[in-house]
Amino acid sequence: MRYRPSHAVRLRQFNKTQRYERFLRSLGLVLVVTALVLGGGWVFIFAEESSDLFAWLFNRPIPVEQPVDKRTASFKKDEGGFRELELALSGALINLQVSSDQVKETQSRRRQSDGKWRAVQRTIRVADAYSLIQCNLEINRAVNQIGGKVIQAAERRRSHELLMDITYDGYVAYHLTIIRDPSIIRKTGGLAIIINQAGKSRPDILDQFLELKRPMTFGFVPWESGAVQMAAKTVRKNQEVIVNLPMEPKSYPRISPGKKAILIDQDAQTNRRIVREALSILSVAMGASNYMGDKIRETPEIMNLVLDEVKKHNKYYIDGFDGSQRPGDRAVHFQGLQSDVSWGALDDHQNQERIAIRLDQASFAALEQSAVIVTANAHANLLAVLSHKMKQLELRGIEFVHVSDIVINKE
């Protein structure tokens, strides 16, 4: 007789099977959900890398997202115009010796809900040495130069304040209050400009330099044609003359300083005679400077010879290099000779923008050091920069002087 489980046993087996199947279904569901969560996270986090990888695998081009500037053309125009106006105003304040701690901004520039810009409000303190009229004229000049306009400039008589409203492209960009402050001391500094090789320039260029009517010092090479006559004309215009002494450069003989020059291979007697002759030809000269002489400058025995002759003729000597220490520096101060070293050249590059930058740098050095000497060659670009900037530099505190004013006072 075949054994057959009872109904109760079969029911227990069935329930056990059902529980096992439910467990397997639950486990599968958990695994599926976990896989989906992990896969979704991987897609979100590493989507870019994965897409690049698949694109590379299938040799497909990888799309590169280009940044989109959502600002409108009018917004960009306003921003560009404001930056240009801000730069012009900063230049004017520099000429009025205004530093950052003398400017207080009480309202910043902000675009409002109607699309219009809120004007900047600033209070600016200037040295008492500047009149409000000078402040008005300088800010007007700078603003007008870039297309802006001062629509109001009113002085409060009781408080002695200047109120200015400045517009650009039809909207008010600035409300300025200018206040004179007696506690601010205005700096001053002397700037002596040596115009070398003045005899090589066109006669009309030299005449235009002389018409600037500010003290300058002009260098002439004595053996150039017409040098004596041009030097005499320069003196008659109340300007100072120095002798450009041709000396051997490091590039010699590829570049020659001329037929009559101080050379290393020449005997001492010949070199002395050249110096004496040069100083005798330009007897109106107050001093002398080296011309192309970087190699001679580093040869102390020849420099001492040159300086000895300059001293015998009761002239001063200007070293035409910058103020860094070089081997010949000791010779420059030979036996108490009245001498000085130039701050540097204005026209290493004959570009008006660069010349203007160098002139600004020299003016700041003059304000810090009380006086500096700079050199440049006579050419039209230098003339254009000086014609444009001399008045502004005088407002900044620069006094143009002759070289002798610095050298003699220094001694």
- 189-410 placed in CATH 3.30.70.1140: no
Domain boundaries defined on the chain: 73-181, 189-410
* Token couple for 95: 């000429």
Count of CB atoms situated within 10 Å of the CB of 13: 11
> What are residue 169's phi and psi, to 5 degrees?
55, 35
Angle between helices 73-95 and 380-396 (to 10 degrees): 70
Query: For residues 289 and 242, is the Cβ–Cβ distance under 8 A?
Result: yes
The DSSP call for residue 262 is B
pTM given for the model: 0.76
- 73-181 placed in CATH 3.30.460: yes
Query: For residues 197 and 244, is the Cβ–Cβ distance under 8 A?
Result: yes
Q: What separation in angstroms does the CA of 13 have from each of 8, 10, 16?
A: 9, 5, 5
* Nearest residue to 180 (alpha-carbon basis) of 131, 141, 123: 131
* DSSP track, 85-103: HHHHHHHHHHHTT--GGGE
> CATH topology of 73-181 equal to that of 189-410?
no
Query: For residues 302 and 276, is the Cβ–Cβ distance under 8 A?
Result: no
> Tokens 């809900």 map to which residue?
113
Q: In what order do the strands lie in the sheet with 161-168?
A: 103-107, 120-127, 171-181, 161-168, 149-156
> Looking at residue 162, what is its pLDDT?
95
How far is the C-alpha of 322 from the C-alpha of 246, rounded, in Å? Answer: 18
> Looking at residue 110, what is its pLDDT?
85
* The pairing of beta strand 161-168 with beta strand 117-118: unpaired
Q: Give the chain's radius of gyration (CA, Å).
A: 39
> Looking at residue 331, what is its pLDDT?
52
Residue 192: what residue type? A
Spell out the per-residue pLDDT of the chain, length 411, in tens: 455 566 566 666 666 676 767 777 777 777 777 777 666 655 555 455 555 544 544 455 555 555 555 567 777 777 777 889 999 999 999 999 999 999 999 999 887 777 778 899 999 999 999 999 999 999 999 999 989 999 999 988 788 899 999 998 888 999 999 999 999 999 999 999 999 988 877 778 899 999 998 999 999 999 988 899 999 999 999 999 999 998 888 877 777 777 888 888 889 999 999 999 999 999 999 999 988 867 878 888 888 889 999 999 999 999 875 444 444 444 556 667 888 888 889 987 788 999 999 999 999 999 999 999 999 999 999 999 999 999 999 999 999 999 999 988 765
Q: Which ranges of 146-237 does DSSP label H, i.e. alpha helix? A: 203-210, 227-236
